[in-house]
C-alpha cells in the first residue's frame, strides 16, 4: 500500500471524577492522508494549526509515524507526504495531540501492511502521550475506561494499557473554548502531589456512577454524579471564567458540566433543543471574565479512528 487516509475523532477526558481514566469520543474529526512519494518527509497542514505547526519530520504526526516504523523494526521511507486536515482545535482539551499521534501511528502501520494490532497501537500512543485517557476513546470510539498497569503490578506485559469500551446512547454536548492558552504541563503542575483519603473516596464513589449514567442515558444520575475534587478545583483557578461557565451551563438546563480534559474548554451535557441557550450562557460567563469563547454543538461518537486505502 502506497497511500492511506486516516480519520481520528476529538475526545473529552476525565468527565468530572474520572481523572486520567475516562474518555469519550466526539463527532469532530481530523483527516490525514499519507502517501509514499518524494525524497523527504513533508507535512502540509490545513485548518487548525496551519500557520504554526511544523511541516517536516518535527510535526507530531510525522514523529508518531517514525515511532511506528521503529517499533515495527522497519526502515523509514525515503519520502513521505502527509496532508493533515485539522478540525480539532489545538491545546483545547479536546484531544488534538492524541489525534495527531494516532493519525501518525495508524497511517504508518497501514503503509507497512499493519504489522501491529490495535492494542499495540494503543500501547505506543499511551507511551508517547504519557496516558491513555484520550488515545483510547479516539482509537476505539465511544466511552472508554482505561488504565496503565505497571510491570510490578501485573503478570502481563510491562506498561500494559487496559481499555474497556462501554456502549452508550448518543450524548449531545456543548463545548465552550475560551481564548486562553493553558498547556497540559501547566495544568498538571497545578495539581497537588497528595490528596486526602476522603477526596479519593469522593471521586471513587462517583466515577462508577458517571460511567453507569452515561451507559444508561440517565441524565438525572449524571447530574448527581459528575462532581470532582481531585483536579478541577486546582485547574479551574487557572482559567478565568471557567468555574462560572460550569455553573452557567447547569443554570441554563444542562444536566452536567465539567472541564474537558485539562481545559481550557468546558463541556456540558444537554438536550439539543437547549444547546443555543447553554452555549450562550457559557460564552457569556467567559466574556464576563474578559475572554471571548467559541462554542461547538456536538454529539458523542460510537466510532473511533478509521483507516482507508488511497
Does position 184 have pLDDT exceeding 90, yes or no? no
Cell triple for 224: 448527581
Instruction: With respect to residue 279, please indicate whether it lies within any of the assigned structural domains.
Output: yes
Average pLDDT value for residue range 39-53: 95
For 107, phi then psi, to 5°, come to: -65, -45
Q: Which CATH number characterizes residue 199's domain? A: 3.30.70.890
Question: Angle at Cα 226 formed by Cα 277 and Cα 137, nearest 5°?
Answer: 90
What integer pLDDT is reported at residue 186 of this predicted model? Answer: 85
Classify each residue of 53-70 as buried b or exposed e, where b means 16 or more C-beta atoms within 10 Å of its C-beta: bebebebbbbbbbbbbbe
Do both 236 and 147 map to the same domain? no
Q: What is the band of 154 on the pLDDT scale with cuts at 50, 70, 90?
A: low
Domain endpoint, select from 167, 183, 205: 167
Domain endpoint, select from 167, 193, 209: 167
Q: Which CATH number characterizes residue 71's domain? A: 3.30.230.10
Do both 106 and 72 map to the same domain? yes
Query: Tell me: the pLDDT tens digits for 278-290?
Result: 999 999 999 999 9
- Is 60 in contact with 101 (CB distance < 8 Å)? yes
Do both 125 and 253 map to the same domain? no
Range of the domain at 228: 172-299
- Is 7 in contact with 306 (CB distance < 8 Å)? yes
Instruction: With respect to residue 308, please indicate whether it lies within any of the assigned structural domains.
Output: no
% of the chain surpassing 90 pLDDT: 91
Q: How far is the CA of 142 from the CAs of 161, 190, 211, in angstroms?
A: 17, 29, 12
Does position 175 have pLDDT exceeding 80, yes or no? yes
Question: Angle at Cα 134 formed by Cα 117 and Cα 241, nearest 5°?
Answer: 170
Q: How many domains does the chain have?
A: 2
Q: How far is the CA of 53 from the CAs of 65, 114, 165, 227, in angstroms?
A: 16, 28, 32, 35
Q: If you write DSSP's letter for every residue of 158-174 in order, what string do you get? A: TTEEEEEEE-----EEE
Instruction: With respect to residue 46, please indicate whether it lies within any of the assigned structural domains.
Output: yes
- Is 266 in contact with 259 (CB distance < 8 Å)? yes
- Computed over every residue of the chain, the mean pLDDT equals 94
Does position 260 have pLDDT exceeding 90, yes or no? yes
SS (H, E, C) 213-246: HHHHCCHHHHHHHCCCCCCHHHHHCCCCCHHHHH
Do both 158 and 208 map to the same domain? no
Least confident of 10-14, 119-123, 146-150: 146-150
Does position 223 have pLDDT exceeding 80, yes or no? yes
Amino acid at each position: 500500500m502506497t497511500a492511506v487516509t486516516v480519520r481520528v475523532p476529538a475526545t473529552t477526558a476525565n468527565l468530572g471524577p474520572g481523572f486520567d481514566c475516562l474518555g469519550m469520543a466526539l463527532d469532530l474529526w481530523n483527516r490525514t492522508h499519507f502517501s509514499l512519494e518524494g525524497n523527504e518527509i513533508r507535512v502540509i497542514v490545513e485548518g487548525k494549526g496551519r500557520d504554526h505547526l511544523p511541516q517536516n519530520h518535527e510535526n507530531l504526526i510525522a514523529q508518531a509515524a517514525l515511532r511506528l516504523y521503529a517499533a515495527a523494526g522497519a526502515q523509514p521511507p525515503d519520502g513521505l507526504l502527509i496532508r493533515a486536515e485539522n478540525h480539532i482545535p489545538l491545546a483545547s482539551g479536546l484531544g488534538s495531540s492524541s489525534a495527531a499521534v494516532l493519525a501518525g501511528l495508524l497511517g504508518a502501520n497501514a503503509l507497512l501492511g499493519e504489522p501491529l494490532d490495535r492494542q499495540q497501537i494503543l500501547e505506543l500512543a499511551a507511551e508517547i502521550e504519557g496516558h491513555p485517557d484520550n488515545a483510547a476513546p479516539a482509537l476505539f470510539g465511544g466511552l472508554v475506561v482505561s488504565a496503565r498497569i505497571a510491570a510490578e503490578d501485573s503478570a502481563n506485559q510491562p506498561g500494559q494499557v487496559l481499555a474497556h469500551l462501554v456502549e452508550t446512547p448518543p450524548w449531545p454536548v456543548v463545548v465552550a473554548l475560551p481564548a486562553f492558552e493553558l498547556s497540559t504541563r501547566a495544568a498538571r503542575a497545578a495539581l497537588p502531589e497528595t490528596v486526602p483519603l476522603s477526596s479519593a473516596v469522593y471521586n471513587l464513589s462517583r466515577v462508577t456512577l458517571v460511567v453507569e449514567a452515561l451507559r444508561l442515558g440517565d441524565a438525572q444520575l449524571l447530574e448527581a454524579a459528575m462532581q470532582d475534587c481531585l483536579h478541577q478545583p486546582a485547574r479551574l483557578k487557572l482559567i478565568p471564567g471557567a468555574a462560572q461557565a460550569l455553573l452557567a451551563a447547569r443554570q441554563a438546563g444542562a444536566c452536567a458540566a465539567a472541564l474537558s480534559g485539562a481545559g481550557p474548554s468546558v463541556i456540558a451535557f444537554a438536550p439539543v433543543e437547549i444547546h443555543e441557550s447553554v452555549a450562550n450562557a457559557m460564552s457569556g460567563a467567559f466574556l464576563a471574565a474578559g475572554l471571548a469563547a467559541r462554542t461547538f454543538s456536538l454529539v458523542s461518537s460510537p466510532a473511533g479512528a478509521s483507516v482507508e486505502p488511497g
